[in-house]
Amino acid sequence: MNSVQQAGSTPTSGSMLLGVIGDPIIHSKSPVMHNAALKALGIPGSYVPLHIKPEGLEGAIQAVRSLGFRGINVTIPHKVEVMKYLDHIDEGAARVGAVNTIVNNNGVLTGYNTDGIGYVRSLKEEACPVLNGKKIVVLGAGGAARGIIHALTAEHPDQISVVNRTASKAIELAQEWGALADIQGFSEAEAKEVVASADVLINTTSVGMHPNIADLPVPKEWIPEGIVVSDLIYNPLETALLHTSSDKGCIIHGGLGMFVNQGAYALEYWTGLAAPVEIMKEAVLHSFKI
Ligand code: ATR
C-alpha cells in the first residue's frame, strides 16, 4: 500500500483530493502552495479552491465525505461555523474555537487548527529558537491572536501580555487561559509600558496591512532596541512595523512563514509525510510576482 492509499483518501483512484473553502476564495495562495507540495512529494492529486457561501457550508462538508476528499482547509468566514458539521474536534482547535484544517478518515471528519502551531514553528525557525522564559507582548485579541496565544502557551514563556483596542477582549482572553500560562490583558492606554518590557513583540492586528501600508500598530519610539518583532501580516511581506523595527536593530519575522507552516502542518496531517516547506514558500513568493 503506498502512502496515498494509507492516508485513506480515494483508494480506487489513488489520487488525493484536497481543497480550501472560503468566501471569497479567489485570492487564496493555498492552491498554488499545496499543488507545488503534492508535486514535490510525488503524490498524484489536486488541491482546488472552492467558493462556498455560508448557506452552502453544510452541503460542502457533506460533499467532502461523498466526493472522497482526503481533507480541506477552511478560511474566512467559515472557521467557527464549520465546527458543528464535523464528527470530532481536536482539543487545541476546541480551545481556540476555530478550525482551519479538516481530515477525512473514511467519512469521519476531524477538525484541527494549524494556524497557531504553524505560527510558532515559523517564529522559532526564523527568528526566536527559544521562547521558554521570554516576555511576549501580543497586539490584538481577535481570532488570529487566539490561535497563536494558545500555541505560545505550550512554549512556557515567562509571561504573555495581550494589548487590545477593546481592552475587555484582552482581559477576558487572559482569564480564560490563565491556567495555561501567566497571561494578562491590557488596554491601549497601558501599551507603552507593556511594550517596553517585551522580548518578543507580535502584531496580530490588521494595522499595516495592504493598502494602509504606512500604518504602525505602536509608535516607533516604544519599540525596544534589539528585541524580536513579528507581524502576522504577509501582504506586504515587510510591514512598516518590521521595517521600523529593523532600523532599531530588532530581529524581524513576517507573516509568510505562518501561512506556509499552517499549510505544512495540514499537509502532514493529510499525507503523513514531512511537508516540503521551502518549495511551498517559493511557490507562494513566485505567485506574488506574477
Ligand atoms: P483576526 O481573525 O484577523 O484576528 P479579528 O478577529 O477581527 O480578525 O481581530 C482583529 C484584531 O485587530 C482585533 O484585536 C482588533 O481590535 P478590536 O478587538 O478592538 O476590534 C484589532 N484591530 C483591527 N483594527 C485595528 C486598529 N485600527 N487599531 C487597533 N486594533 C485594531
Check if 165 has its Cβ closer than 6 Å to any atom of ligand 1: yes
Domain ranges of the chain: 16-113+260-289, 116-256
Check if 100 has its Cβ closer than 6 Å to any atom of ligand 1: no
| Contacts with 95 (C-beta within 8 Å, 6 or more apart), sequence order | 150, 177
Check if 206 has its Cβ closer than 6 Å to any atom of ligand 1: yes
For residue 190, what is its C-alpha cell? Answer: 497601558
Please give the pLDDT value at position 8.
Answer: 42
| Closest to 114 measured CA to CA, from 87, 74, 164 | 74
- Rounded CA separation 147/259 (Å): 13
- The vertex-268 CA angle with 155 and 31, nearest 5°, equals 110
Q: What pLDDT digit, counting tens, does each position of 126-137 carry?
A: 999 999 999 999
Q: Is 79 a catalytic residue?
A: yes
Atom of ligand 1 nearest to the CA of 165: 19
Please give the pLDDT value at position 206.
Answer: 93
Check if 166 has its Cβ closer than 6 Å to any atom of ligand 1: yes
How sure is the predictor about 7, in pLDDT bands with cuts at 50, 70 and 90? very low
Q: Which CATH architecture has domain 16-113+260-289?
A: 3-Layer(aba) Sandwich (3.40)
Q: What pLDDT digit, counting tens, does each position of 227-257 carry?
A: 999 999 988 999 999 999 999 999 999 999 9
Please give the pLDDT value at position 235.
Answer: 87
Domains 16-113+260-289 and 116-256 share a fold: yes
pLDDT at 173 over 50: yes
Atom of ligand 1 nearest to the CA of 141: 14
User: Using CA positions, which residue lies closest to atom 18 of ligand 1?
Assistant: 166
Q: Which CATH architecture has domain 116-256?
A: 3-Layer(aba) Sandwich (3.40)
